[in-house]
Structures are given as C-alpha cells and as structure tokens.
Amino acid sequence: MKSLVTGGAGFIGSHIVDKLIEQGDEVVIVDNLATGKQHNLNPKAKFIELDISDPQTIEVVAQEKPDRIFHLAAQALVTVSVKDPMRDADVNIKGLLHLMQGAVQAKVRKMIFSSTGGAIYGDTEQIPTPETFAARPLSPYGIA
C-alpha cells in the first residue's frame, strides 16, 4: 500500500510515517519544514519539500497515486490565524483543496484528516468539550 503523509516531518506525522513503514507501506512525505524537523524524516520514505498551499500539490498527489492520504499539515497557531487570516486560509483551506483535487485525479480511496478540535468550539464551560457541542469558532484557525 502507498501512503502520502502531509506534515510527515512533524511530531505526530513522523510517528505515523514510522508506523506505516514498519507495516510495509511505501510512504511519501509532503512537508514544507515550517514547523517540522529534518531529523524527524524517516530515510525510508520519499520526501518532497512543498507547502500544500502551492498548486503543485495537486500534481504531486496525482503523480504519486497514493492509496491513502494522511493529512496533518496545517498552519496551527491561533494567533497567526488572527494576524494573517489569508495565510491561514491558504494553508488550511486552499491546501486541503489542493490535496483533494490531486486525490480525485489519482483516485485516492481514503483520506484521513487529523486536526485539533478545541478551536472549533470556541470558549466553552464544559471541558473536555464533547464533539456534539455546537461549533462556535472564535478565530480563522477555528473556522478552517
């Protein structure tokens, strides 16, 4: 099986990559190394340094033809999303759309999207906040 992991140089993404390789997958990592670290990259994975906000992402996914995509790449700082909402949207919305367009072209059958959930709900009185709670995002990151 071939898996493409965005954010595969990050803490969580790199552990997913390691596990996939351990299970025998062929793995492609797409990461811009903005927050991910070179030393987290598994040498058995193919590494493509690319920001998912770049339209080239569509071509990369289409050419690699993964069976599944693990999507962990994100602009994940609430403060950055407030200061620069366009950049946040470029990565978190447009980047996802690039992945999905490439996935359609490559006939990818499964996409696993990982995200923090807290920003979706805004400030709540109930902690931990259940997934059934109404979404009330307070930032561009929470909206994305």
Strand partners, 48: 30
Residues identified as active-site: 141
| Phi and psi, residue 47, nearest 5° | -115, 130
Distance (Å, whole) CA 4 – CA 8: 9
Q: What is the pTM of this model?
A: 0.92
Provide the pLDDT for residue 46: 98
Reading the chain (144 residues) residue by residue, the pLDDT tens digits are 999 999 999 999 999 999 999 999 999 999 999 999 999 999 999 999 999 999 999 999 999 999 999 999 999 889 999 999 999 999 999 999 999 999 999 999 999 999 877 788 888 888 888 888 888 888 888 888
Report yes or no: 6 and 72 within 8 Å, Cβ to Cβ: yes
Domains located in the chain, CATH noted: 2-143 (3.40.50.720)
- Cβ count near 141 (within 10 Å): 24
| Single-letter amino acid, residue 125 | E
Strand partners, 27: 3
